Each structure stands twice: as C-alpha cells, then as structure tokens.
C-alpha cells in the first residue's frame, strides 16, 4: 500500500497476563515441540486515508489504546526481536473491528477513512526455519478460508500496513446462456455455475424457455432466446434443496427387505405432507396460529401475545469456518423470527451442537480438528447471542465420531409478538401492488454467494471461497431494533429476512403476496463496485431484512433508519404482473413467470429400501457398577458442559427462571423464562436429540420426541400446551455411484418421519415448523464420511406459573424420592454399551399412551407446587439421572431399585438402561401421600430418600450396587471434558 | 415531591434497556428508553430527566475495547450536558457496558472526563455468566447501595477486571470510600476465582464518585427483578427480586433530595 496507508499497534502494558497468549504458548509447544519463552498478542489497525502523525497519536490515545491498561505504537512494531505472524482478513470479508474503528475515527477526527484490523502473534523461540511458523499460522492462528497470514523474521522490521481492499476491475454485465443444447451441455452449465440442478430440472427450464409464449413475452422486454445468468441463478436458488425441500416433497417408493421382513412396499407422496403436516392437522390445537407457511411457526402465548419459533442448521459453513459459520447461523435464525408474520422480537436462543470427539485422532485431510471446530462454534454462538442481547436458554453438545468431518450446528430462536397491532393480526403479511420493496441493514458484497445451492451439496476438499462469511451482531441488533419499532408504528405491511438466496429469495417470496415485483438492482447499496447483476440479486451478505412499505410511509422509515444508524434503500416495487422482473439500469435482466419460479420444480421420484442392520455387540462389562457410573458421568455426552454454558448469557432480558445450570451447577432439563416481566407466566424450551439410537430410525425419532416432551414437562410446561419443531440432518439419501446406500438412508428418513408423526400425534403436540439438511457427507479422495441420521426435536410449552416449577437438584434431607415410569431391559444404543465398545440390540421403545398419562399427572403435580425436584432420565440411565440430582443438591441420597416399576432384574439394566418415559422426582415426606394420590394409575414408585450424609447409594434389595461420595462423582462429571 | 424520571439509553448494541427500565418502574419511578442518537442529536433532552442510566450490552460490539466508542461519542457530543446533569445533583447509573462507558469517558471515579481506572479483559480470558455475591461498603457515600449489606447478582461480561492506573488513584478511592461494592467468597475473601469472576484488583465490582450519585457496577441488578431470577430460588432462598433495591434507593433519593 502506498503512502496513504498507516498502521498502529496496541498491546497490554507491563505486567498484565494475557490468558489467550498463555494458551497459545501451550499450543505452540505441543505443535512445534519448541517451548516459546514468550508469546504476546498485538492488535493492529491499518488505516487507509492519509492521516498525520498528530492524528495517529490522538487516535492511539483516545480510541485504540486503553489509557490505563494498554500502549500503542504507530512508527515501529512491538516485539521486533520476536518471530511475528500477522493474520488479517481476506479482501471482502466482514471486518467488524475495522468497521467500528472507522466509525470511531469519524467521532474523534471527523474524518472518513477505511480501517482494517489484524492481529500480530509475537513468539520468542528458537525455531529452526519458517516452515514451523507456517504450520503454526495454519493450524493455530489463521483460517485460510477467510484470512491471510504473513511471517516476519526477528529483526526484519516489518510495519507494512495490511490493507485488504476489494478492487474489482470489472464492468457488470448480465450474460445470456443458450439452453437449447444437448443434455451433456445442460449438465455442464449446472456444474460450472454451481447451480446444483439435476438434469431433469435443467430440462424443465429448457422446455420452459423454448415455449413460444415465453419467448414472445421475453422479446417484449428486450431479452433473447436463452436465459440470462440472472434468471438461471434465481431459478437454481428458488429450486434448491435448501429452499424447496425436494427430498421431503419427493414421491418415494419405499420397501423393506431382509430376514424376517415381509417385503412390505409402500408409496409415499411427500414425506412432508404425509407425516409432518398431517400430524399437525390431526392434532388440531386451538393455540396454533401459523404453521409451515412463514419463516417460523407461531402459537398463542396468552390472550395478547404470540410466540414465534424457528430452528435452523448451519452445518456446512461451520465445518469450514466454525466461528463465522455458527455466528451467521445464530444471527440468521434470529432474522427468521424477526421475519415471521409482521416481526417477532427474539427473546431466547437455543443451540444444539454435534462434534467429533475433542481428542479426535483420525481427522481426514481437509477437515479442521474437532477441538478447533468446537471452540470456534462456541465462540460464534457466544458472540451471536450475547452481543445481540438474546439469552441462550437451552442447548446440548453431543459427541460422536461421525461428526468429525461434518459438525452439526442447530441454532434456534424464540420470538415474542403482540397477537395483533392496531386490530390487525401480527401473524399476517399483506402486500398490495405499488408497495415499495425496501432493503434494510447491511450492504451487498460478494460474500455468501451460492449459499442456498452450496448447502444442498456435499462438502469436498477444495470447495471454498465466497460461500463463507462472518456475521455482524451489532448491525443485526440495530436492524432488529429498527424493524420492531417500525412494526409498532405500522410503517410496513410485510417483512422477511434475507437469508439463503438473498434478495432473489426474499423479494421473490414476498412478491407472491402481491403477484409480482420489479426490482432495480442498480439501486442496491453495495460494499464495493463491480458486482454483476446476478451477484447483487443472489448475494447472501448478512444482516438484511426486506420490508414492503406503502410509499407514503417511506419518509418515516428513512427517519427511523437514521435514528438507528442503519441503511434503508428502496430497491423495487411489488406488482401484480405475475412476473419476477429484474432490471439493471434500463435493461431487463430477468423476467420469469412467478408460477414457474415458485412451483415449476418437478417432483423428484426416489427409491427407499429398508434393511435391518446388525448391531455391534459390546464387550462384557469388567467394571464395578460404581466405576461404570463414574466413567459414564465423565463420558463426553454426559459430562458437565459448564465450560460452554457459562460463556453464553442466559439472563439478558431479565426473565430467567430455570437456567441451564442452577445452584450447585445442577443441570436443567430445559430452560424457562418469563417473557413478560412483572408476570409469572413462563415459556419452557426443551429438546430431544438421540442420534446414538441407530438401530431403527423410526424408534430413534420417537425417542427424540419423547425426550423433548419429557424435558419440557420436567421444566413445568403444561402437558397439553406444547408445540414442537423438527430438524432432520441426514446423510445424502439419494442413491448414486458415489452413494451406493442412499436408498437405505432414504428409508431411514421415511421411518424417522413416520416415527415423529406417530409420537407427536400420540402426545397431541402440533409440529409448527421444521427444516432439513440433507447432504451431510464428506468426500476425501475415495472415502466417504457420513453422519448418523440425526433428528432434533425442539419443544416449547407454556408454564402457567413459574413460581411453582422445580429444578433437578435434590433439596432437603428426608425428602422422598420417586421413580416415575417403567425401567425395561432396553440397552441398545445406550451410553453404557458405548462405554464397552458397542451398540448392542434392543433400543428403547416409546409407549406413548402409558407415557401420556404419566406426563399429564406429573404436569399437574408440578403446577400445584407439589414437586421439589424433577429430572428426566436419559443418557446413562437411572443411575446417572439420580447422581445428577444428588450432585446438584450437594447431598447424599439412596434408592432401592427393587421397588421401582421394571421388567428386568438385571442390575446393569436397572442402573443404566435408557428406557424412555421416566423421571426422578423428590417431594417433601409430608406431601408423599398427596403426591401419590395425584399420580394414581401411573407407574410412580417411591424408592428412596435424600440422606443426611454425602453418599450416593443404589441397591437392588439388599444387594448394594453403587455407594459413592457425591463430591467424587461431581468431580468426575465436572472434569470429564477437556476443552 | 419530585418524581424520579430516568432516561435509559438504547441503541448501537446496548441490550438491556427494557429490563432496566422495567426495574425503575417496578420501584415507582418513570423510565423512558431513548436511543443514544436522540441524545447526541439533541443533548438538551437530558434536562427532562433526573436519572441517567447506561444499561448493559455490547455497544459497537466492544470492538477496540469495551464501550470505548460509546464513551467517546457521549464525551464528545454530550459531555457538557452530562456535567450539568451531574452538577444539578442528579443521578447516573452505569451497569456492565454502561459502567465501562462511565469509566472510559472519565465520569468515574472522578467526573472530570479523565480516565483513571479501567475495566479490562477477565483474567479467565473469557466471557462468563455466573452469579456472584457482593459485599457493600457501609461507609460509601453511594446512594444506590444504602442499607444493603450483601447482594447476589449475575455477572455477564468478558471485560470486567477493574484496574486502577496507579497506587494514588486507588488510595484516593479507598480514602473516599468510592469502592462501593466488592465481590466476596463464602469465606469472605475478595480475590478467589470464581467468586471474584474477573480478577478485579481488590475484588472491586462497583465504584461511585465522591458524591455517591454516580455509580457503576459490573453485575446486573436489573436481572434480579423477580425472586425466580436467583439460581437457588427453587431452594426457597428468597421471595423478592433483591436487585430492585438498587433502583429503589435511587428513586427514594431523588424523591427526597431533588
């Protein structure tokens, strides 16, 4: 960079220990085998805009360095005698710190400049050569998908400003693409443009553009015989798996084969219609307001307020850039809720994460290490939730080998909205021709182009680039504040988010309400010039919402935008032309029939074949039961997640009632908040997620529903006022040369959806929203890595009075302990078997009718304030649940397993079987009789009491099985995970 | 009697204004949530109020250090009006990010727009959400903490480590009892993690000026507005939201003195 650029470095003063640097020093000695004698981290700001020394001095003092704890230098580098690695963003990546610096410089100097942040890692060590530095840069410091790095040798000077400006020397143009070509050519177009369209779909588009009427109409607006790149891209986005859920809507020939199977065959015309939507129709709950047609589902909360919920996944981006992927995931799902109906205020976030094991050894080439993924994802969620001011109220972290190559990042948001504003139902959007299409929020760049089509593809080594981006929580917060204020003032008639597919998707979908649109791409605010029209239309630059605004309200929208410091730009008009009409300057660059754009995608026809698979028998247990309990408590899926949980703010907005960790670090089964301060009604959020039950996807799904429901009931949600969401993350279920067992995975999908259906219908719980992510596979050379079919069931429910609910910890010596539900010999897929190196047969089955009666009775008992502690029994079985209650309460407790409802007398099964539908509950001894009366007719057995000492005792009659100190158990549980 | 009327700042990533305004109203005060830009555009707005609250959040993303950019903006554009506000005997409360802003613009511990202390990165190196116990300095002139001996509150921050610029500053603060509250462990220690959640020198959690009318603290009193906010509430520890006491003290002070 020339003389216009300057640079300032900032570091902590003197004796302040930097924990990040200390941790980096440890990692360097592990990686390089050389222990650095010192490591320091320097913040650098590179400023383009010709500032004088006096100005730099002033910025150093007033803006960049803290007057008490930091010092700065703008002439020469800090640590000139160290090895230094500088890491900065690649051109065009969102640089939040740089952007804030720019704003801060404006405040201090009144000058408009460009600013770019970077970091310098200064390392004092005797390295042989710079090869090891490159290794450190790549493995520990920089993610080359988004960042660049450079090594400076000791005493080499090196104070060059790093200025990653985007300079596109390109005249924007829309290209015409000939479609009347043979099949191979069609597929070449699809491949080369990463359209992810199949041959059948390309043929459909070809046929459409060949129609005489279409040609004539297109000639009328100055378009040629072929399609423009803008049109092809818009179609590919609208028809993508991500947007159209083609697999969920496919016609499927399902059959079963194998020993003992009767060769059952069945035709499923759309998994979605057959199992998901039908379930909600069958359940028919009066509190359901809006399902499956908006960005999120909506239910009533009370007579004045509704609740909107959405859960999304952001798996592929999180595999490449864990921080940015998770951050954009959480911010994206916030916008879904903000874009539901006329807009809901995000009041709670949830996140469920699936990673490979933290000590993972065999990480395939091209994949980041699970620890790096886990830490990056957690930091992304931390920033996304905490900075925007949304409490993270519930979540989980699941570890399985299969998530090494493809982590799963589920992110969900709950929103609160008035049921009606000014007499109009807030759930309803309404657009009339003539309303303006207004884009609010960030500017458009090349980032995130092809997200919709990318997420519909498998990850392969080498596919990176513009698909990965970094979110900007503060711009998002400003957008949320502005949109909600505009909503309350009645300034717009519809709102939706810009997610996958950008404006093409947001305006395209809203335009269905009026019957068409006309968009002027040259009016869209850009981060930098040089974008082609299709890029402007499809860009997934973050933090943008689209509003439909009556023209007369536009001045007020502009005023509000200024107040909140966000941009609002009119980019087009909604029409009733029946056409998706896009212009760039004076020329039309796309003119597509709305019907064809949204409904034209041909239905897929797929085959599904179910085969029973042999489970892997576990080794014979060699451990004492007490040691097994300790090992289970320390095992990745059960061990305390405190390290993660405490980094999330679960209190902001002031309504926290049941936190992820209560006193004594007692883990909660879900989260409960009071959305309306000053009132006692609560909202419970819980979930079920059990990918370890691989034996049969039907029962896996039923278990996921059951786990979600019993967690919600344990939190005090009213059984009878619950709603749920489904998120299916699957390996590629389409059979092909590289995916020979695709038909089996599709059969698993059919069975899982059926299991979900049967469970929610049985429990009477509507499904209000859902999402699927279908190609969670990773190809490295010839080997393919696929995830286990993974279904997340998120459950929300109304709590009538939060002051009556209970936490999981045992409360007081002498309290009576009950086991609710029946313990069966159902060890298949259990954590106990996993401990012994296998899965085993006989996974838990869900008895919906039996459980329903129990849940209804327990729900009432909690509402009456009868229950002192309640904890659901899941991973690790009764022994683990019981131990968690005791650990949370920091008390001893005893239980006689011969007294519980059971179908087995095998000790290990009594302790560790994961049968569904069970709880551990404690009540005051004086309430025992009343409680038993309330639970009459259910499998509720008094089996123990809270003890005065600190022993956790489990026995079967006179036979002692476990007798451990509660603090020893807690130590094992707390220290199980090494982050 | 003068009615307590608070202006609660919002915008640019401030994210606790609504529960903070709720807390003021819950104890009988009035509260308006106003965007920082409304105040910087028309600083005279401040004179309509007798209490200024800077709530928690992540103003400007805490890029360049927590609250740095917000502090500069308020200092440059509203500094004069804030001085008048303070000189008129009105109250200023900064919570978490708001405390960071007060310290960095130099309104605390001495309201002369010179930074004397800082709140920097937690010694643990990470953001943490946990409940802490505060011991209030009974000799402090702080009007917000009057009559409170101990208070449990949540902290939720990554940059809350209190550091004075030098010995003299700390001594002046000690001498004038400007250290209004400290983190304390069950055994009464002030430097034990996680009870002192961020490594603050002397376990300092909250600071006031010599008049006691400007007060900033890292923990969130507005997030203990109902007894079910406390992590041990299911064990029956309490039946009221004790964080409201801080706001009640403020409202009562205004009603009695202004």
CB of B125 within 8 Å of a chain A CB? The answer is: yes
Looking at chain A from residue 784 to 813, which residues have their Cβ under 8 Å from any Cβ of chain B?
Answer: 802-803, 805-807, 809, 811
Asked if A746 contacts A607 with a C-beta cutoff of 8 angstroms, the reply is: yes
pLDDT tens digits, A864-918: 999 999 999 999 999 999 999 999 999 999 999 999 999 999 999 999 999 999 9
- Chain B residue with minimal CA distance to A675? B19
The token pair that represents A405 in the structure block: 């190559």
- The pLDDT mean for chain A works out to 93
Active-site pick, A242, A383, A450, A687:
A242
pLDDT-derived band at A466, boundaries 50, 70, 90: low
- Contact: A104, B235; criterion CB under 8 Å: no
Question: Which among B129, B222, B232 is the nearest to A650, CB-wise?
Answer: B129
Q: Which residue out of B25, B59, B228 would a mutagenesis test of the A interface target, given it has the greatest number of A Cβ atoms within 10 Å?
A: B228
Residue A549 has pLDDT above 90, yes or no: yes
The pLDDT assigned to A979 comes to 85
The pLDDT assigned to A467 comes to 60
Residue A460 has pLDDT above 60, yes or no: no
Mean pLDDT of B181-192: 92
**A56 assigned to some structural domain:** yes
- Contact: A802, B228; criterion CB under 8 Å: yes
Size of interface A-B (CB pairs under 8 A): 186
pLDDT tens digits, A674-689: 999 999 999 999 999 9
Domain boundary among the residues A101, A128, A152 is at: A152
The token pair that represents A229 in the structure block: 């790149």
pLDDT-derived band at A541, boundaries 50, 70, 90: confident
Looking at chain A from residue 647 to 666, which residues have their Cβ under 8 Å from any Cβ of chain B?
Answer: 647-657, 659, 661-663
Q: Which residue out of A15, A109, A649 would a mutagenesis test of the B interface target, given it has the greatest number of B Cβ atoms within 10 Å?
A: A649
Distance CA B177, CA B138 (A): 9
The pLDDT assigned to A19 comes to 83
Mean pLDDT of A85-114: 93
The answer to whether A314 is a known catalytic residue is: yes
Give A108 to chain B, closest Cα distance, Å: 7
pLDDT-derived band at A462, boundaries 50, 70, 90: very low
pLDDT tens digits, A393-416: 999 999 999 999 999 999 999 999
pLDDT tens digits, A243-301: 889 999 999 999 998 766 566 899 999 999 999 999 999 999 999 999 998 999 999 99
ipTM above 0.90, yes or no: yes
pLDDT-derived band at A168, boundaries 50, 70, 90: confident
Closest alpha carbon to A449 in A92, A34, A859: A92
pLDDT tens digits, A118-160: 999 999 998 887 789 999 999 899 988 889 999 999 998 889 9
- Contact: A651, B126; criterion CB under 8 Å: no
Give A548 to chain B, closest Cα distance, Å: 24
User: Strand A297-300 and strand A777-780: pairing?
Assistant: unpaired
Active-site pick, B96, B142, B181, B208:
B96
Quick one: what percent of chain B has pLDDT higher than 70? 100
- Contact: A564, B13; criterion CB under 8 Å: no
The pLDDT assigned to A262 comes to 63
- Contact: A652, B37; criterion CB under 8 Å: no
Active-site pick, A170, A303, A314, A650:
A314
Q: Which residues of A touch B218 (CB under 8 A)?
A: none
Question: Which among A66, A481, A651 is the nearest to B154, CB-wise?
Answer: A651
Question: Which among A103, A388, A803 is the nearest to B15, CB-wise?
Answer: A388
**A914 assigned to some structural domain:** yes
Quick one: what percent of chain A has pLDDT higher than 70? 97
CB of B89 within 8 Å of a chain A CB? The answer is: no
Question: Which among A100, A646, A869 is the nearest to B60, CB-wise?
Answer: A100
pLDDT-derived band at A82, boundaries 50, 70, 90: very high
CB of B64 within 8 Å of a chain A CB? The answer is: yes
Instruction: DSSP letter for A823, please.
Output: B
The answer to whether B16 is a known catalytic residue is: no
Looking at chain B from residue 126 to 165, which residues have their Cβ under 8 Å from any Cβ of chain A?
Answer: 126-130, 154, 156, 163-165
CB of A646 within 8 Å of a chain B CB? The answer is: yes
Asked if B111 contacts B83 with a C-beta cutoff of 8 angstroms, the reply is: yes
Q: Which residues of B touch A652 (CB under 8 A)?
A: 15-16, 19, 56, 156, 223
Look at the pTM and tell me if it is higher than 0.80.
yes
Mean pLDDT of A308-321: 93
- Contact: B229, A654; criterion CB under 8 Å: yes
Domain boundary among the residues A104, A121, A152 is at: A152
- Chain A residue with minimal CA distance to B117? A68
The pLDDT assigned to A666 comes to 86
CATH number of the domain that residue A844 is part of: 3.90.650.10
pLDDT-derived band at A4, boundaries 50, 70, 90: confident
pLDDT tens digits, A754-796: 999 999 999 999 999 999 999 899 988 888 899 999 999 999 9
CB of B117 within 8 Å of a chain A CB? The answer is: yes
Residue listed under structure tokens 């068409």: A516
Neighbour count for residue A253 (Cβ, 10 Å): 15
Q: Is the dihedral of CA B148, B150, B154, B160 positive or negative?
A: positive
Distance CA B183, CA B176 (A): 19
Residue A529 has pLDDT above 90, yes or no: no
**A887 assigned to some structural domain:** yes
- Contact: B13, A474; criterion CB under 8 Å: yes
CB of A906 within 8 Å of a chain B CB? The answer is: no
Distance CA B42, CA B49 (A): 14
The strand pairing partners of A941, in sequence order, are A819
Q: Which residue out of B14, B42, B64, B116 would a mutagenesis test of the A interface target, given it has the greatest number of A Cβ atoms within 10 Å?
A: B64
Q: Which residues of B touch A805 (CB under 8 A)?
A: 234
Closest alpha carbon to A780 in A407, A373, A363: A363
The pLDDT assigned to A1 comes to 40
Please tell me which residue, A503 or A168, carries the higher pLDDT value: A503
pLDDT tens digits, A479-524: 999 999 999 999 999 999 998 889 999 999 999 999 999 999 999 9
pLDDT tens digits, A608-642: 999 888 788 888 888 899 999 999 999 999 999 99
In this structure, what are the phi and psi dihedrals at residue A22, rounded to the nearest 5 degrees? -65, -40
Q: Which residues of A touch B228 (CB under 8 A)?
A: 656-657, 674, 802-803
Q: Give me the count of residues in chain B.
A: 258
The pLDDT assigned to A167 comes to 80
- Contact: A69, B163; criterion CB under 8 Å: yes
Give CA separation, A525 vs A130, A588, B58, in Å: 43, 19, 26
List the domain range (segments joined by +) for residue A86: 5-152
- The pLDDT mean for chain B works out to 96
Asked if A342 contacts A487 with a C-beta cutoff of 8 angstroms, the reply is: yes
- Contact: B228, A66; criterion CB under 8 Å: no
The pLDDT assigned to A2 comes to 44
The token pair that represents A497 in the structure block: 């988010």
Q: Which residues of B touch A654 (CB under 8 A)?
A: 16, 18-19, 22-23, 222-223, 225, 229
Domains contained in chain B, CATH given: 5-257 (3.40.50.880)
The pLDDT assigned to A360 comes to 87
- Chain B residue with minimal CA distance to A869? B234
- Contact: A646, B76; criterion CB under 8 Å: no
Question: Which among B56, B123, B163 is the nearest to A68, CB-wise?
Answer: B163
The pLDDT assigned to A506 comes to 94
Give A105 to chain B, closest Cα distance, Å: 9
Give A889 to chain B, closest Cα distance, Å: 9
- Total number of domains constituting chain A: 2
Q: Is A653 left (phi over 0), alpha (psi -120 to 50) or beta?
A: left
Mean pLDDT of A928-940: 97
The pLDDT assigned to A3 comes to 58
pLDDT-derived band at A92, boundaries 50, 70, 90: confident
**A427 assigned to some structural domain:** no
Looking at chain A from residue 811 to 840, which residues have their Cβ under 8 Å from any Cβ of chain B?
Answer: 811
- Contact: B163, A474; criterion CB under 8 Å: no
- Contact: B223, A654; criterion CB under 8 Å: yes
pLDDT tens digits, A202-236: 999 999 999 999 999 999 999 999 999 999 999 99
Distance CA A460, CA A612 (A): 30
Give A19 to chain B, closest Cα distance, Å: 5
Q: Which residues of A touch B130 (CB under 8 A)?
A: 646
Domain boundary among the residues A109, A127, A152 is at: A152
- Chain A residue with minimal CA distance to B68? A63
CATH number of the domain that residue A68 is part of: 3.30.1280.10
The pLDDT assigned to A450 comes to 65
- Contact: B15, A103; criterion CB under 8 Å: no
């Amino acid at each position: 960079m020339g003389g216009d650029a300057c640079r300032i470095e900032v570091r902590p003063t003197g004796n302040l220990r930097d924990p990040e640097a200390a941790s980096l020093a440890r990692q360097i000695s592990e990686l390089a085998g050389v222990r650095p004698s010192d490591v320091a981290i320097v913040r650098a700001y590179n400023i383009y805009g010709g500032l004088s020394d006096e100005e730099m001095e002033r910025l150093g003092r007033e803006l960049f360095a803290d007057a008490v704890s930091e010092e700065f230098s703008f002439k020469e580098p800090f640590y000139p005698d160290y090895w230094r690695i500088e890491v900065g963003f690649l051109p065009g990546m969102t640089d939040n710190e740089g952007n804030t610096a720019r704003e801060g410089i404006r405040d201090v100097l009144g000058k408009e400049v460009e600013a770019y942040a970077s970091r310098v890692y200064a390392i004092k060590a005797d390295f042989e050569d710079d090869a090891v530095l490159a290794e450190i840069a790549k493995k520990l410091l920089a993610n080359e998908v988004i960042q660049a790095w450079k090594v400076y040798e000791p005493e080499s000077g090196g104070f060059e400003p790093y200025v990653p400006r985007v300079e596109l020397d390109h005249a924007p143009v829309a290209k015409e693409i000939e479609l009347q070509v043979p099949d191979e050519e069609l597929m070449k177009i699809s491949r080369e443009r990463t359209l992810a369209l199949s041959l059948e779909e390309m043929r459909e588009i070809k046929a459409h553009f060949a129609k005489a009427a279409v040609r004539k109409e297109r000639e009328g607006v100055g378009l040629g015989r072929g399609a423009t790149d803008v049109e092809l891209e818009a179609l590919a986005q609208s028809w993508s798996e991500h947007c159209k859920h083609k697999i969920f809507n496919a016609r499927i020939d399902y059959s079963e084969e194998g020993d003992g199977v009767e060769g059952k065959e069945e035709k499923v015309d759309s998994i979605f219609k057959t199992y998901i939507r039908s379930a909600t129709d069958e359940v028919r709950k009066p509190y359901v307001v809006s399902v499956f047609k908006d960005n999120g589902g909506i239910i009533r909360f009370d007579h004045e307020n509704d609740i909107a919920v959405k859960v999304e996944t952001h798996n592929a981006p999180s595999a490449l850039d864990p921080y940015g992927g998770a951050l954009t995931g959480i911010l994206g799902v916030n916008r879904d809720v903000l874009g539901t109906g006329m807009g809901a205020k995000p009041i709670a976030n949830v996140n469920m994460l699936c990673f490979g094991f933290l000590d993972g050894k065999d990480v395939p080439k091209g994949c980041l290490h699970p620890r790096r993924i886990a830490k990056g994802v957690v930091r992304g969620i931390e920033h996304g939730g905490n900075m925007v001011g949304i409490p993270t109220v519930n979540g989980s972290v699941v570890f399985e080998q299969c998530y090494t190559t493809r982590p799963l990042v589920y992110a969900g948001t709950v929103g609160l909205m008035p049921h009606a504003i000014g007499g109009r139902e807030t759930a309803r959007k309404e657009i009339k021709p003539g309303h303006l299409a207004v884009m609010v929020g960030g500017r458009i760049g090349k980032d995130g182009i092809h997200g919709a089509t990318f997420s519909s593809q498998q990850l392969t080594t080498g596919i990176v680039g513009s698909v990965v981006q970094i979110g900007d929580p503060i711009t998002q917060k400003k957008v949320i504040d502005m949109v909600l204020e505009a909503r309350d003032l009645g300034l717009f008639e519809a709102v939706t988010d810009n997610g996958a597919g950008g404006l093409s998707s947001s305006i395209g979908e809203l335009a269905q309400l009026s019957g068409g649109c006309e968009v002027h791409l040259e009016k869209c605010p850009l981060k930098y010039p040089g974008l082609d029209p299709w890029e402007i239309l499809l860009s997934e630059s973050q933090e943008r919402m689209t509003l439909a605004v009556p023209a007369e309200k536009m001045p007020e929208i502009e005023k509000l935008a200024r107040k909140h410091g966000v941009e609002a730009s009119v980019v087009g008009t909604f029409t009733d032309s029946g056409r998706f009409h896009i212009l760039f300057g004076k020329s039309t660059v796309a003119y597509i029939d709305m019907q064809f754009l949204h409904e034209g995608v041909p239905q897929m026809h797929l085959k599904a074949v179910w085969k029973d698979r042999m489970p892997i028998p576990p080794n014979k247990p060699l451990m004492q039961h007490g040691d097994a309990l300790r090992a289970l408590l320390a095992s990745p899926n059960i061990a305390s997640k405190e390290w993660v949980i405490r980094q999330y703010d679960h209190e902001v907005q002031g309504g926290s009632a049941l936190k992820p960790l209560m006193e004594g670090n007692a883990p909660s089964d879900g989260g409960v908040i009071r959305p309306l301060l000053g009132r006692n009604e609560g909202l419970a959020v819980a979930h079920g997620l059990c990918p370890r039950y691989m034996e049969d996807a039907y029962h896996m799904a039923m278990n996921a529903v059951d786990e979600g429901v019993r967690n919600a009931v344990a939190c005090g949600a009213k059984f009878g006022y619950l709603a749920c969401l489904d998120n299916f993350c699957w390996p590629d279920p389409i059979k092909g040369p590289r995916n020979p067992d695709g038909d089996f995975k599709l059969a698993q999908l059919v069975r899982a959806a059926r299991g979900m259906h049967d469970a929610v219908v049985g429990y009477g719980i509507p499904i209000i929203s859902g999402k699927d992510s279908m190609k969670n596979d990773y190809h490295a050379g010839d080997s393919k890595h696929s995830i286990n079919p993974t279904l997340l069931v998120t459950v929300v429910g109304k709590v009538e009075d939060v002051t009556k609910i209970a936490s999981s910890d045992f409360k007081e010596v002498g309290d009576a302990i009950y086991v609710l539900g029946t313990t069966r010999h159902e060890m298949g897929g259990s954590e106990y078997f996993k401990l012994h190196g296998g899965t085993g047969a006989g996974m838990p089955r869900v008895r919906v009718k039996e459980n329903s009666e129990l849940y209804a009775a327990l729900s009432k008992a909690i509402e009456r304030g009868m229950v002192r502690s309640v904890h659901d029994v899941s991973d690790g079985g009764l022994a683990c649940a019981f131990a968690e209650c005791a650990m949370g309460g920091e008390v001893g407790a005893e239980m006689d397993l011969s007294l519980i409802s059971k179908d087995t007398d095998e000790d290990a099964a009594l302790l560790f079987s994961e049968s569904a539908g069970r709880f551990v509950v404690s009540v005051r001894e004086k309430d025992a009789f009343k409680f038993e009366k309330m639970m009459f007719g259910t499998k509720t057995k008094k089996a123990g009491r809270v003890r005065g000492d600190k022993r956790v005792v489990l026995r079967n009659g006179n036979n002692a099985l476990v007798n451990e100190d509660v603090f020893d158990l807690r130590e094992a549980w707390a220290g199980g995970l090494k982050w | 009697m003068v009615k307590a009327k608070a202006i609660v700042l919002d915008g640019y990533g401030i994210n606790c204004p609504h529960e903070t305004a709720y807390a003021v109203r819950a104890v009988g005060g009035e509260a308006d949530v106003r965007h920082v830009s409304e105040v910087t555009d028309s600083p005279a707005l401040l004179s309509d109020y007798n209490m200024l609250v800077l709530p928690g959040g992540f103003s400007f993303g805490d890029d360049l250090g927590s609250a740095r950019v917000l502090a500069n903006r308020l200092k440059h554009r509203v500094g004069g009006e804030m001085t008048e506000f303070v000189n008129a005997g009105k109250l200023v409360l900064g919570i978490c990010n708001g405390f960071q802003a007060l310290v960095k613009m130099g309104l605390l511990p001495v309201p002369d727009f010179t930074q004397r202390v800082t709140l920097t990165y937690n010694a643990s190196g990470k953001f943490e959400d946990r409940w802490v116990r505060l011991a209030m300095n009974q000799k402090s002139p702080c009007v917000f903490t009057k009559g409170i001996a101990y208070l449990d509150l949540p902290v939720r921050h990554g940059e809350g480590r209190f550091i004075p610029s030098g010995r003299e500053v700390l001594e002046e603060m000690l001498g004038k009892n400007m250290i209004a509250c400290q983190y304390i462990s069950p055994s009464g220690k002030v430097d034990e993690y996680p009870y002192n959640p961020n490594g603050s020198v002397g376990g300092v959690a909250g600071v006031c000026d010599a008049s006691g009318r400007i007060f900033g603290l890292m923990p969130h009193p507005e997030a203990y507005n109902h007894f079910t906010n406390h992590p041990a509430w299911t064990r029956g520890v309490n039946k009221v939201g004790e964080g409201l006491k801080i706001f009640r003290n403020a409202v009562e002070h205004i009603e009695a003195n202004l």
